[in-house]
Structure 1
Amino acid sequence: MMILVCYDVNTETSAGKTRLRKIAKECVNYGSRVQNSVFECILNNAEYMMLKNILAEIIDEKIDSLRFYNLGNSYKGKVEHIGRKQGIQVEEALIF
């Protein structure tokens, strides 16, 4: 299923900047960055729960925000893109 992960981390302090880097680093392990604080992730239920738990432990719930949008398995008709970079197809193998 495709999960859209969006976050807003308060970076007014060095601790906030550290949290922001940690969140981004974890998200890169699970999906593809499509905007600065938005990742598209193709996950099974176990991976989704794991990612959610990891990110929930990193953020400061009083000043940060974390959102998960479950687009399911039939997400291709639900995502439209206009503009600069479309990115990669997250469900296909990457060959370098």
Structure 2
Amino acid sequence: MDVDLMELLITYDVDTTTPAGQRRLRQVAKACEGAGHRVQKSVFEVVCDPAQRLRLEATLTELINPRTDSIRIYQLTKGTLATARHLGAATNPGHHDPLVF
């Protein structure tokens, strides 16, 4: 693993009671899909460098309504994603494989 890379767990809860909220949800999901792997409906695992993290956080900050929406970003110890245990219908993303759009 590259020394400059970090592992993040991103979770979000976007208020979808309005059409604007539904649009924000799609935009947040799209931004996260561009950065990492969806492992649950509102949970992404991301491997990125510090500059990519700052850009992603800035994008997410612009997209959400801070009064009604919530995004949590956890920085994990390197190697944590590789040791995650999956139960049930879980995915096993290749975190260090190139993302295909």
Same fold? TM cut 0.5: yes
- Report what 1:60 is aligned to: 65
User: Shift in Å at residue 84 of structure 1?
Assistant: 1.0
1:14-33 matches, within 5 Å, as 14-33=19-38
Which residue, 3, 7, 13 being the options, matches 2:8? 3
Alignment RMSD (CA, Å)? 1.6
User: Shift in Å at residue 82 of structure 1?
Assistant: 1.2
The answer for unaligned runs of 5 or more in structure 2 is 1-5
Q: Deviating runs (4+, > 2 A) in structure 1?
A: 92-95
Letter paired with 1:25: K
Q: Matches of 1:37 and 1:88 in 2, distance apart?
A: 15
Q: Percent identity?
A: 38
Letter paired with 1:57: E
Q: Matches of 1:80 and 1:65 in 2, distance apart?
A: 26
1:13 aligns with 2:18: yes
Superposition TM-score, scaled by structure 2 size: 0.85
What is the total number of aligned residue pairs between the two structures? 94
| Change over 3 Å in CA distance of 1:47–1:72 after alignment to 2 | farther
1:12-91 matches, within 5 Å, as 12-75=17-80, 76-77=82-83, 79-91=84-96
